[in-house]
Structure 1
Amino acid sequence: MKIKAAATFFIMSTTALTSCTSLPSSGPAVKDVEAQATARVTSAKKPQAVGIDYALVDLNKTVLNFVQSATTTSLVGGFGGGRGGAPSLPLGVGDIVQVSIFESQSGGLFIPNDAGSRPGNYVTLPQQTIDRDGTLSVPYAGRVRASGRAVEDVQRDIEDVLANRAIEPQVVITKVESRSAQVAVLGDVRTPSKIELTEAGERILDVLSEAGGLSAPGVETYVTLQRRGKSATVQYDHLVATPSENIYVAPGDTILVDRERRTYLAFGASGLNGRFDFEESNLTLGEALGKAGGLLDARANPAQLMLYRTVEKSFLSKLGVDTAKFAGDTVPVIFRANLRDPAAFFAVQKFPMQDKDVIYVSNSDSVEVLKFLEILNSVTSTASGVTSDAVSTRDAIRDLN
């Protein structure tokens, strides 16, 4: 009877405390937030559901084969240029050139009769910059169109114009500075700058080298090539390991080098919860779990180690999954590993982690039972405490009387 009375008293006290608005709180209650909302966006069928469709994939040997052969982004696929010769570098606006004109003998248009005291039968014109209209100026030939044309073609045009005035003229145009054939290298390199291209042809790694190399770890560095409104990104280590990706750069290209710190999250019954850096190495699922403190022996369910990741639809198609029910080109996937299986430890050591992965270790069923028992224990302890407090109060009042 005493326990029953104490429990009744406890429930009534709890109800009274709950209804009291003066209890300390760090913020509004959930019911107040919901009640005072002007509008609510919820799912009518499943009010508590997020509403994101996902696939559950158990980690096994077959899955490992497809994960390890996952495709990466490509430069050569978007721009080409990995094979063949270097791109041609025509003259362009802003280029500084020098024009030399040769004649076969003295007494011509440019070489006087007393040419014996000259070092040769030619004249060199002052350096000049190709104008905004794309032309350069040559005496007795006028304005000659140069921008966008090969040096040989411009030389030939000048020779044709001077042919009736000079003696068998031959023209040589020398590029002093090629301002139109440059690429900009920006971001996480030691000396961001504009790199002048040469006729020899420069590739991605060549211009990165001229910019002083990377200022960040290669494993966390991405290289983006922008060209005429198009863009493609490749991981630096993949660029180095795949020669076909080291394509020729072209005038006007912009190369952005960006360090992206790779991180993953760990939640649940792991030794540590929070965000973790890959740092300067690649990680497997096993290594990432170890970095997060492993599994808590008293809480974790080893059969329910889960990794959350968004993958391409093609990955699920290779596994025989019907992807028609998923909208978009990517699918949220939960990879599940059963660490009660001894062979699963080999699997998690081969499963590569990716940036922004989420690891979740679920609690074992026994932990949930223990939580319930602890609640029951706290209720009964509180009830007995209330009875004892009531008796003590009664005695104290009697003593006062």
Structure 2
Amino acid sequence: MLAVNRSGPAFRLGAILAAVTLLTSACAVAPGMRMETSRMQKSRGNANPTGAADQAGVAAEAEKVDATPGTPDIEITEVDANLISRLARIDAQQQVEIAQLLSGAPQTYAVGVGDVLQIVVWDHPEIAAAIGPTQSQSSSRSSDPLAGFVVDQNGNLTFPYAGTLHVEGLRTDEIQRRLSAALAKYFVKPQVTVRMASFRAHQVYVDGEVHNAGAFAVNDVPMSLYEAIARAGGFSETADQSDLVLVRGGQSHRLNLTQLVAHGVSPSRLYLKADDMLRVVSRDENDVYVMGEVNKPISAIPRRTGRITLADALAQAGSVNASTADAAQMFVIRGSLSGSPQVFHLDGRSPVAMLLAKDFDLRPKDVVYVDGSGLVRFNRVLSLLMPLINTGLTAGVIAK
């Protein structure tokens, strides 16, 4: 049997070179967070990330990521014109359905707790004294109710001769008929007029990126979505007009004004109800992340309309790095926190692909990742190994 000198310089140098060969053979998968993909059959399952029936075809031509054994398979969908058209149609259909859910005939104002009524019984001026002296507009504060009969905390109205009547939830014409019937016991054919003097029972709340957020009284004129925003002073510079959150009855509905107008649905036909809360989201909350081989990794901000495309995000990041990027490996990662992540792939080597990037809409918190080229990844791994190689060579020379 031949003896091997394991302490000699030649053996140490050979071991170092073998280690370098072994490590560099794996550099295609180690550095740069590269998404290695392998083809899989087209997926047409029942998974529906957006909740629309038309979503079934979005997962066509899917791929999966070969990652660690503990990582589940993630489908990768190629970005093409058909995909962009389907996604746009799904988003539009969702907004139309939400608009139909929230629209409807405006309701007639119903009297509530705190409202002030002006009641006149004609030919009986002595009853008018029951409301006290009339306030002058110059001395009254905005928070003071106008002179009249206030609906108490129990929803009741107390009126001379008529006694106490429960009026909460009634219209003014219904209150008028009840008063006339009660006063008919004491007066002959009483002529009664009831109208609202001050609306204080019902309010809507507007918050977020508007100039004057606050609570606004609902009156007998139905308040539309546009009117609520106008009362709040309009959108601020940082408002995302595509993301309005309407909270009604314990449920949140997200409205996209840009899409509603584009598809012929007027927000002036969407009426708010008492106790509704409307929040205008800031564009900063709906940013997307651009990272990888770009000139300036950035958190990209949507336009005022709320729209941001893949091309917009890359432009804000200073475009891809021509020296290090692999234009064929552009990915959009979506829904990482929802439990059903999606990955979209775009081969950007052709200038025609930028037309697709211009029309591919991103969603809040999407991640745009541009992978590096194979040579760049090899050079990075080699730069990490060079100190180890130099140290081994130096040790071998000294030992020799």
TM exceeds 0.5?
A: yes
Secondary structure of the 2:299 match is strand
Alignment CA distance shift 1:51-1:378 (3 Å): closer
Structure 2 residue aligned with 1:4: 10
Alpha-carbon distance in 1 for matches of 2:154, 2:381: 83
CA distance in 2, matches of 1:143, 1:220: 48
| 1:301 alignment partner in structure 2 | 326
Quote the offset at 1:95 in angstroms: 0.7
Question: How far apart in 2 are the matches of 1:229 and 1:338?
Answer: 44
Which residue does 1:162 correspond to in 2? 183
Q: Is the 8 A contact 1:55 1:331 kept in 2?
A: no
Distance 1:382 1:147, change over 3 A: same
Q: Which residue of 2 aligns with 1:345?
A: 354
* Residue matched to 1:363: 372
Q: How many residues align?
A: 325
8 Å CA contact 2:260–2:267 kept in 1: the answer is: yes
CA distance in 2, matches of 1:340, 1:213: 43
Q: Which residue of 2 aligns with 1:268?
A: 292
> What does the per-residue CA deviation read over 1:297-340, in whole Å, with 9 as the maximum and x for residues that have no partner?
333222211111139xxxxxxxxxxxxxxxx9974221111122
**Cα offset, 1:360, TM superposition:** 1.7
Q: 1:332 aligned to 2:325?
A: no
Taking the aligned partners of 1:308 and 1:81, their CA distance within structure 2 comes to 32
Distance 1:274 1:198, change over 3 A: closer
Q: Conserved in 1, the CA contact under 8 Å of 2:95 and 2:259?
A: no
What residue in structure 2 maps to residue 131 of structure 1?
152
Structure 1 match to 2:227 = 206
CA spacing shift, 1:232–1:124, aligned 2, 3 Å:
farther
2:395 is matched by which residue type in structure 1? V
Offset of residue 89 of structure 1: 0.6
Gaps of 5+ in 1: 12-45, 104-109, 113-121, 312-327, 392-401
1:62 corresponds to which residue?
82
> Does 1:250 pair with 2:259?
no
TM-score by length of 2: 0.69
- Please name the residue that 1:102 is paired with: 122
**1:370 deviation in Å?**
4.1
Work out whether residues 239 and 281 of structure 2, in 8 Å CA contact, stay in contact via their aligned partners in 1: no
- C-alpha deviations, 1:80-139, integer Å up to 9, x for none? 45344x311111111111211014xxxxxx369xxxxxxxxx846412211122211121
Cα-to-partner distance string for 1:19-45 (whole Å, 9 max, x where unaligned): xxxxxxxxxxxxxxxxxxxxxxxxxxx
Moved over 6 A (4+): 8-11
Amino acid at match of 2:78: D
The structure-2 alpha-carbon separation of the partners of 1:100 and 1:249, relative to structure 1 and needing over 3 Å to count, comes to same
- Partner letter of residue 176 of structure 1? A
Residue 78 of structure 1 contacts residue 232 of structure 1 at CA under 8 Å; is this kept in 2?
no
- Distance in 1 between the 2:241 and 2:73 partners? 30
1:149 is displaced (CA, Å) by 0.9
In 2, Cα distance between equivalents of 1:151 and 1:80: 28
Report the counterpart of residue 243 of structure 2 in structure 1.
Answer: 222
Matched, 1:290 2:299: no
Cα distance in 2, alignment partners of residues 111 and 371 from structure 1: 95
Q: Quote the Cα distance in structure 2 between the aligned partners of 1:91 and 1:49.
A: 64
Q: Residue 277 of structure 1 aligns with which residue? A: 301
In the alignment, what sits opposite 2:47? Answer: none
CA distance in 1: counterparts of 2:276 and 2:176, whole angstroms: 27
TM-score, with normalisation over the residues of structure 1?
0.69
Give the structure with higher Rg (CA): 1
Answer whether contact 2:116 2:149 (CA < 8 A) is retained. yes
- Are 1:185 and 1:255, in contact at CA under 8 Å, matched by a contact in 2? yes
AA matched with 1:363: G
From the superposition, tell whether residues 81 and 98 of structure 1 become closer, same or farther in structure 2 (CA, over 3 Å). Answer: same
Q: How far does residue 385 in structure 1 lie from its aligned partner after superposition?
A: 2.9
Shift in CA distance, 76/336, structure 1 to aligned 2, threshold 3 Å: closer
Cα deviations by residue, 1:226-268 (Å, 9 ceiling, x for unpaired): 2232331213434555544441112222222332413222333
**Cα deviation code 1:131-180 (max 9, x no counterpart):** 12221112111112211111111111111122242132111112111111
**Residue number in structure 1 paired with 2:52:** none
Contact 2:257–2:267 (Cα < 8 Å) also in 1: no
Query: 1:47, 1:351 → 2: CA distance?
Result: 26
Q: Is the 8 A contact 1:98 1:125 kept in 2?
A: no
Looking at structure 2, the residues matched to 149 and 358 of structure 1 have their Cα atoms a distance apart, in angstroms, of 53
Say if 2:206 and 2:213, in contact at 8 Å, map to a contact too: yes
RMSD of equivalent CA atoms: 3.5
For 2:234, the aligned partner's letter is G
SS of residue paired to 2:91: coil
Residue of structure 2 in register with 1:191 after alignment = 212
CA distance change for structure 1 residues 260 and 52 in 2, over 3 Å: closer, same or farther?
farther
Structure 2: runs of 5+ lacking an equivalent: 18-65, 132-147
The letter of the residue matching 2:345 is R
* Separation (CA, whole Å) in 2 of partners of 1:183 and 1:368: 57
- Contact 1:75 1:225 (C-alpha < 8 Å) held by counterparts: no
Which of the numbers 124, 140, 144 marks the counterpart of 2:161?
140
Counterpart CA distance in 2 for 1:188 and 1:379 is: 55
Change (3 A) 1:76 1:144: farther
Does residue 153 of the first structure (1) align with residue 171 of the second (2)? no
Shift of 1:374: 5.4
CA contact (8 A) 1:76 1:82 kept: no
When residues 214 and 305 of structure 1 are mapped into structure 2, their CA distance, relative to the original with a 3 A threshold, is: same
Any idea what SS the aligned residue of 1:252 has? coil
The offset of 1:220, in angstroms, is 5.7
